[in-house]
Amino acid sequence: MATSNLTVVDIHTHMYPPQYIKILESRATIPLIRKFPQAPEPLLILLEAELGDLEKAIDDPSAKPPGRPLTSHFASLDQKIHFMDTHHINISVISLANPWLDFVNASDAGDVAKSVNNEFSDMCGKHHGRLFFFGTLPLTAPLETLLASISHLKDLKYCRGVILGTSGLGKGLDDPHLIPIFKALAAANLTIFLHPHYGLPNDVWGPRAGEYGHVLPLALGFPMETTIAVARMYLAGVFDQVRDLRMLLAHSGGTLPFLAGRIESCIFHDGQLVREGKVGGNRRTVWDVLKEQVYLDAVIYSEVGLKAAVDASGSDRLMFGTDHPFFPPITSDEQGHGKASV
């Protein structure tokens, strides 16, 4: 890769700080980190789809446990920088990977968020100019704690936004109770990096899903989760209520670049929305929102997907990302000599 005159910024790259790993190690329910005698490394188990395999592995030491090996790539700052150097990445915006703090008790969430965000800020300070971060919010905490967390993030030198899952406060991103939070983020000039985690209900995948590894929930569940979340925000008028809100959508916005036209058609022809006067001539379309308030990362793995993302949101709104250390799997060298993904 010739990068002499090009600054490469990886907008989608994750880390689990040591404190966060300790939290996951202490848990008995998903999400968790667990050691098995049949696995050489601790395993990171995040998805509800893995619950059945987890129970089998606990009961039967010969059963293959679920999850992915928790390699040092997930927590080592030195290895993150080495990965960047290997692949000629000048700047990375690191963020906590799913499921963030969605599972933390309300009484603890504010303090945990502050500690994790400070830990990220300290990491960035050790590599000034090369690392920035998306903070994490204590979404289970009361509103005043959430707003205080946003104020804290605004004052952190290396923070550029927040990473957010699709459940919001537990009822999705079209929940009216999120509007004050969205307004506070917009006022603080903090971009939302929207990332999936919950996927779709397990029974969607059918009785043979266990034979297919994690392909169905990751390849299809994650993109549809993002698509549904943003469509709900649009239908609820969130983007019109908070015009300064800016969002970066993981994995090129799920299937939004492909389905925006169909969403528009369904809105235009929906009898209920027409009767309620919600399909007027001054309505901002999904296309308008994609080009005005949304950025997409380029973690889509195909030229077809990249072209769709460019057409939907614009080439100036498409950002490079690797999803390191999750994708692609590092197979050739734990220090980062595997191929980076776009």
* pLDDT tens digits, one per residue of 3-20: 568 999 999 999 999 989
Give the confidence band of 333 by pLDDT, cuts at 50, 70, 90: low
Give the confidence band of 339 by pLDDT, cuts at 50, 70, 90: very low
- pLDDT (0 to 100) of residue 1: 47
- pLDDT (0 to 100) of residue 336: 52
- pLDDT (0 to 100) of residue 4: 63
- pLDDT (0 to 100) of residue 38: 84
- pLDDT (0 to 100) of residue 340: 37
* Alpha helices, H only, the chain: 18-25, 51-59, 77-86, 106-126, 143-154, 179-187, 215-216, 222-235, 238-241, 256-268, 271-275, 286-292, 303-313
At 324, which amino acid appears? H
Q: What is the pTM for the complete model shown?
A: 0.92
With respect to residue 3, please indicate whether it lies within any of the assigned structural domains.
no
With respect to residue 335, please indicate whether it lies within any of the assigned structural domains.
no
With respect to residue 44, please indicate whether it lies within any of the assigned structural domains.
no
Number of domains in the chain: 1
Cβ distance 94 to 75 under 8 Å?
no
With respect to residue 130, please indicate whether it lies within any of the assigned structural domains.
yes
Scan for tokens 């389905």, then name that residue: 259
With respect to residue 42, please indicate whether it lies within any of the assigned structural domains.
no
* pLDDT tens digits, one per residue of 141-184: 999 999 999 999 999 999 999 999 999 999 999 999 999 999 99
Q: What is the mean pLDDT of the chain?
A: 92
- pLDDT (0 to 100) of residue 11: 98
Q: In which domain, by residue range, is 109 found? A: 9-16+74-319
Peptide bond into 176 cis (omega under 30): no
With respect to residue 175, please indicate whether it lies within any of the assigned structural domains.
yes
Percent of the chain with pLDDT over 70: 94
Cβ distance 180 to 143 under 8 Å?
yes
The segment with the largest mean pLDDT, out of 16-25, 62-71, 250-259, is 250-259
Answer with the residue of higher pLDDT: 335 or 188.
Answer: 188
Cβ distance 230 to 256 under 8 Å?
yes
Cβ distance 109 to 101 under 8 Å?
yes
pLDDT at residue 328 above 60?
no
The enclosing domain of 305 has a CATH number of 3.20.20.140
Percent of the chain with pLDDT over 90: 79
With respect to residue 222, please indicate whether it lies within any of the assigned structural domains.
yes
- pLDDT (0 to 100) of residue 45: 93
* pLDDT tens digits, one per residue of 214-248: 899 999 999 999 999 999 999 999 999 999 999 99
Cβ distance 151 to 180 under 8 Å?
no
With respect to residue 275, please indicate whether it lies within any of the assigned structural domains.
yes
